[in-house]
Amino acid sequence: MKKIFSMILSFILVISTLSFAVAPNNVKASTSSLGTPDGIEILIDTDERSEYILTLPTGDKIHFIELITLIDNGNTEIHTQAYDLSTNKLLQDYTTLIENDTIIDQTIEHFDSIQTDNVKVAPFSNIISNRSLAPVGISYITNYDVNTGNAYYAFLDSRKVNVVYDNSTTRANYAKFTQAVDSMRGHENGTLIALLIEVFSAATGTAMIGKLISWKTAETIVKKIIGPAAAIANAYDFSMWFYYYNEVGTAYYDLPKS
């Protein structure tokens, strides 16, 4: 499977390398201001340390600091911390262990999201659904005729909620799940980013289920297969997809079991 993806992406990698030679407007490997409402600002990116500021569509900024350690046995350990740039509040703190091109272990110390008000929009249809195009089995179906919502995550059992009568916490978590799926789908537009996500998913398989994935973790695994240029040239969409992937996973596990 990995060889097939490598062959498919061999010519795309050449294109992406040329694209990286002319840096995208929303990726800057410097400490200068982005000057745009969204994007990723790469402050430091070395073999030992990666720092970047991710700007969400809401305008909120998250400062990621990732320390990369090569262990004696050849495995790679990545310690990820994320801070709300405006308050310096610690949002995320976890350590991921990578062997070859897959995740073999992860320790999560803390995970939180920037709190935003849920925008309630009147449904344009009685049945609303969406799914990620990546082969990770993430989708939802909301049926307002019977007030039910079903959240699907990988091969795990679906989690069902009542979007009217369940408690406010459950309804908020379901809303978080559906909004994150919609956002993931929005960042899958474009052949290269979709293939990058597919390469990562094929490499890690079920090991990514229930894990938090940072941009550096994804880039470390993908570059072992196709090289670093494609992931770096698509750093914003790549990092945002995994940001929402993490939101999907945490929201799913916060929903009551059906």
Domain ranges across the chain = 2-116+185-251
More confident residue, 149 or 100: 149
Residues 13, 17, 19, 20, CA torsion sign: positive
- The pLDDT of residue 1 is 47
- The pLDDT of residue 246 is 93
| pLDDT tens for each residue of 196-255 | 888 888 888 888 888 999 989 988 888 877 776 666 667 888 889 899 999 999 999 999
Over 70: is that where the pLDDT of 30 sits?
A: no
- The pLDDT of residue 137 is 87
- The pLDDT of residue 28 is 40
More confident residue, 119 or 91: 91
More confident residue, 28 or 126: 126
Contact status, residue 31 vs residue 251, Cβ threshold 8 Å: no
- Rounded CA-CA distance 178/187 in Å is 15
Query: What mean pLDDT is predicted for residues 147-168?
Result: 93
Orientation of helix 235-254 relative to helix 191-204, angle to 10°: 50
Residues 68, 199, 156, 167, CA torsion sign: positive
- The pLDDT of residue 37 is 32
Give the range with max mean pLDDT: 90-94, 98-102, 133-137: 90-94
What does the block give as tokens for 31?
A: 């400490």
- The pLDDT of residue 225 is 79
- The pLDDT of residue 36 is 33
Query: What mean pLDDT is predicted for residues 24-48?
Result: 58
What average pLDDT does the chain have? Answer: 80
- Rounded CA-CA distance 198/88 in Å is 34
Over 90: is that where the pLDDT of 90 sits?
A: yes
- The pLDDT of residue 222 is 84
Q: Nearest to residue 231, comparing CAs of 32, 35, 74, 27?
A: 27
Query: What mean pLDDT is predicted for residues 176-201?
Result: 83
Query: What mean pLDDT is predicted for residues 114-128?
Result: 61
φ and ψ of 143, to 5 deg: -115, 105
Residue 123: pLDDT band with limits 50, 70, 90: low
